[in-house]
C-alpha cells in the first residue's frame, strides 16, 4: 500500500509499505477514506518530539471503511464506515473505566503518562497512523465509532481529534454563565475551543494569535474578539485592562510547544531544546487569568520540564487542568452538536489534498501558506 513515510525533520514522502495485518483478535484493518494533518503532526515534522523515528507513518485523525476484523470484534462489521479516535484505548483498564481514554494503561504500557496515539512518536506507543491507504486499529471493538448515515465524512474526520480537543479545552475551563474566556492560539484547536466556549455559557470570548488570516477566520466562525499580540505592547497588561483590572475567568492554552512571542522562550525551548518547547502561551494564560481562575491546557508539550511561573499559580489560587482529549467519552455529545448545527466542523477545512502530494501539504500547513487552516488528505479509494 502507499503510505506517508517520515524521513527526518521537514522531510516526508509517500512510499510503498507492507499492508497492515491483524495482530490481535481485537484488531481491525481500516481502508482510510480521509486523514487530516494536525498541528501536532507539525511538532513531529519540525523535529520537536523525542523518539520520532525514521520510517514512521504519521496520522492520528482519520476515518475509513472496515476491511477486516479480528475474531473478538463484535461491534463492527466489514463495510462499516467509522471514525477512529486518535487515542488508542482498551476500554477496560483502570483509567479507561474512569473515562480517561487518553491515559489508557494498556495501549502504551511503557509510558507513565500518555496512552497510545496513532501515528505519533514512540513516546505514544509507536503505532503507525492513518496517512496511508490502510491502517491497523487496535481495540477495534471499543474505539472506532460508526459514522451516522446523515453525517458528512468531512465532519466525521474532524471528530477524531480537533473538535473534541477544542471542546474538552472549554469543558476543562469549568466555564460559568457570562464568563470571559481567552483562547491563546487561532489554529484549528483554538478555533474549536473558542466556538465551544459559547456552548458552555461564556459571555465573552477573546482569541489571541499573530496570524492575521486565522484571526479573521475565528472572528467570524466562533465568533470572537480577536487581537494580534504583535500589535500589543504587553499581552498580560492588555488583558487586565480589558477585563476591568481583574483578568479573565478562564484562559485556554491551545498553542503548546511551538508558541511565538518571546525570544528567550524561543531560544531555550525551540532552538536549544533545553525545555519542552516555548511556554510563552502558558505564561500569558497563567498571568492573564484572574485570581482563583482556571487555566485549561491542551497545547502539546514534550515530556521534559518547562519554566513556568508556578509561584503565580500558587499565589493567585489558580486551577490548572490539562489532558489529551478523551474522544470516545465526548463523541455522543459532539455528534448531537453537529446534528443540531451548533458546531460545523468541515468549515475549517481549507485544503483537500491527495495522499501522493503529502510533502506539499505538510509544507503548506507548516509555512501557513495560502491561508491554510486545516488540510485533509482525501484518499483515491474514498
Categorize the per-residue pLDDT at 148 as very low, low, confident or very high, splitting at 50, 70 and 90: very high
Categorize the per-residue pLDDT at 272 as very low, low, confident or very high, splitting at 50, 70 and 90: confident
Cα separation, 291 vs 268, whole angstroms:
29
* 243 neighbors 178 (Cβ within 8 angstroms): no
pLDDT of residue 271: 85
Categorize the per-residue pLDDT at 16 as very low, low, confident or very high, splitting at 50, 70 and 90: very high
* 375 neighbors 350 (Cβ within 8 angstroms): yes
The average confidence (pLDDT) of the chain is: 96
Categorize the per-residue pLDDT at 310 as very low, low, confident or very high, splitting at 50, 70 and 90: very high
Cα separation, 224 vs 209, whole angstroms:
12
- Can you point out the beta strands (E) in 74-169? 81-84, 87-88, 116-117, 134-137, 145-146
Please report the DSSP string for 175-195 in residue order: PPTT-EEEEE--SHHHHHHHH
For 308-317, b/e burial (b = at least 16 CB within 10 A) is beeeebeebe
Cα separation, 159 vs 71, whole angstroms:
27
Categorize the per-residue pLDDT at 46 as very low, low, confident or very high, splitting at 50, 70 and 90: very high
Q: 83 is written with which cell numbers? A: 471514525
pLDDT per position as a tens digit, 222-250: 999 999 999 999 999 999 999 999 999 99
> Which residues, at least 6 apart from 190, have a Cβ–Cβ distance to it below 8 Å?
166, 183, 184, 207, 209, 218, 252, 254, 255
pLDDT per position as a tens digit, 1-10: 999 999 999 9
pLDDT of residue 58: 98
| Cell 489534498 belongs to residue | 353
pLDDT per position as a tens digit, 131-147: 999 999 999 999 999 99
Cα separation, 267 vs 273, whole angstroms:
8
The neighbour count for residue 332, using CB atoms within 10 Å, is 9
Q: Is the pLDDT of residue 304 over 80?
A: no
β pairing state of 62-69 and 28-36:
antiparallel
Percent of the chain with pLDDT over 90: 89
pLDDT per position as a tens digit, 333-368: 999 999 999 999 999 999 999 999 999 999 999 999
* 334 neighbors 326 (Cβ within 8 angstroms): no
Radius of gyration, alpha carbons of the chain:
20
pLDDT per position as a tens digit, 153-178: 999 999 999 999 999 999 999 999 99
Taking phi over 0 as left and psi of -120 to 50 as alpha, with beta for the rest, 292 belongs to: left
CA neighbours within 13 Å on the CB side: how many for 347?
15
> Which residues, at least 6 apart from 342, have a Cβ–Cβ distance to it below 8 Å?
199
pLDDT of residue 301: 87
Amino acid at each position: 500500500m502507499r503510505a506517508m513515510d517520515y524521513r527526518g525533520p521537514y522531510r516526508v514522502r509517500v512510499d510503498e509499505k507492507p499492508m497492515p495485518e491483524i495482530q490481535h483478535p481485537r484488531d481491525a484493518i481500516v481502508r482510510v477514506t480521509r486523514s487530516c494533518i494536525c498541528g501536532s503532526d507539525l511538532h513531529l515534522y519540525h523535529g520537536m518530539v523525542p523518539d520520532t523515528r525514521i520510517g514512521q507513518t504519521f496520522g492520528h485523525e482519520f476515518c475509513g471503511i472496515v476491511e477486516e476484523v479480528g475474531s473478538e470484534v463484535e461491534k463492527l462489521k466489514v463495510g462499516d464506515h467509522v471514525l477512529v479516535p486518535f487515542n488508542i484505548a482498551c476500554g477496560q483498564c483502570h483509567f479507561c473505566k474512569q473515562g480517561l481514554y487518553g491515559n489508557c494503561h494498556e495501549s502504551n504500557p511503557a509510558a507513565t503518562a500518555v496512552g497510545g496515539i496513532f501515528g505519533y512518536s514512540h513516546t505514544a506507543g509507536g503505532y503507525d497512523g492513518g496517512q496511508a491507504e490502510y491502517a491497523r486499529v487496535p481495540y477495534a471493538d471499543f474505539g472506532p465509532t460508526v459514522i451516522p448515515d446523515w453525517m458528512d465524512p468531512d465532519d466525521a474526520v474532524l471528530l477524531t481529534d480537533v473538535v473534541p480537543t477544542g471542546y474538552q479545552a472549554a469543558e476543562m475551563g469549568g466555564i460559568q454563565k457570562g464568563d470571559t474566556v481567552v483562547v491563546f492560539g487561532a489554529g484549528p484547536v483554538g478555533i474549536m475551543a473558542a466556538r465551544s466556549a459559547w456552548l458552555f455559557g461564556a459571555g465573552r470570548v477573546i482569541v489571541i494569535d499573530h496570524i492575521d488570516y486565522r484571526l479573521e477566520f475565528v472572528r467570524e466562525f466562533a465568533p470572537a474578539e480577536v487581537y494580534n499580540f504583535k500589535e500589543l505592547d504587553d499581552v498580560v497588561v492588555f488583558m487586565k485592562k480589558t477585563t476591568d483590572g481583574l483578568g479573565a475567568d478562564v484562559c485556554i492554552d491551545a498553542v503548546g510547544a511551538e508558541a511565538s512571542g518571546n525570544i528567550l522562550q524561543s531560544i531555550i525551548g525551540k532552538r536549544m531544546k533545553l525545555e519542552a518547547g516555548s511556554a510563552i502561551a502558558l505564561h500569558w494564560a497563567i498571568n492573564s487569568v484572574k485570581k482563583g481562575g482556571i487555566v485549561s491546557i491542551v497545547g502539546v508539550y514534550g515530556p521534559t520540564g518547562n519554566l513556568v511561573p508556578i509561584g503565580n499559580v500558587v499565589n493567585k489560587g489558580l486551577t490548572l487542568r490539562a489532558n489529551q482529549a478523551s474522544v470516545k467519552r465526548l463523541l455522543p455529545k459532539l455528534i448531537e452538536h453537529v446534528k443540531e448545527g451548533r458546531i460545523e466542523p468541515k468549515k475549517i477545512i481549507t485544503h483537500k489534498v491527495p495522499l501522493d502530494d503529502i510533502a506539499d501539504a505538510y509544507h503548506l500547513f507548516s509555512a501557513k501558506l495560502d491561508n491554510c487552516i486545516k488540510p485533509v488528505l482525501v484518499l483515491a479509494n474514498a
